[in-house]
Amino acid sequence: MKKFIPVFVVTLAVILFFNGKKYDELVSSRLSSSIAVCLEGQSCGQATAMNVAAGGASRSAESIYSSGCAACHDAGIAGAPMMGNKAQWEARQAKGYEMLVNNAYNGINGMPAKGLCADCTKEEIGIAVQYMLDTI
């Protein structure tokens, strides 16, 4: 059992940090997002305020999934239902979409809150959940 733990940790680290992409690509994609900083007393403009109010959900379902969900759902780590596996999703799907989104956002059992996508909004988590449900 003690020999299994290091192998599991290394495997999990590889999946989480590389996820099939080169490290440089991951860093570049995270740094390329546009961020506006508004100081007190300065006008931020209407578009920026609207983006913040709308939650800024400009990422695609696939990009949300690959930024966090895929680390566990591609391989079934920690009991996560695998992407596209109908048998593993049936019992969860019966709970309903809202329950799945709440569980994904708040965390449940071995799943951390927001499923490793720390910067995801609840709406983005919902988009990722629907993306996974659409594959079954």
Where do the structural domains in the chain lie, given as residue ranges? 4-133
> Is pLDDT at 54 greater than 50 in this prediction?
no
Contact assessment for residue 83 and residue 70, using Cβ atoms and an 8 Å cutoff: yes
The class (CATH top level) of 4-133 is mainly alpha
> What proportion of the chain, given as a percentage, has pLDDT over 90?
32
* Residue 45: per-residue pLDDT: 56
Q: Bridge partners of 108? A: 111
Question: 111 pairs with which residues across the strands?
Answer: 108
**For 30-39, 79-88, 92-101, which range has the lowest pLDDT when averaged over its residues?**
30-39
φ and ψ at residue 108, rounded to 5 degrees: -155, 140
Locate 70 and state its tokens: 């895929």
The pLDDT of residue 130 is above 90: yes
pLDDT at residue 100 greater than cutoff 90:
yes
Work out the angle at residue 88's Cα, subtended by the Cα atoms of residues 77 and 26, and round it to the nearest 5 degrees: 40
More confident position, 25 or 110? 110
Check residue 81 and give its pLDDT.
92
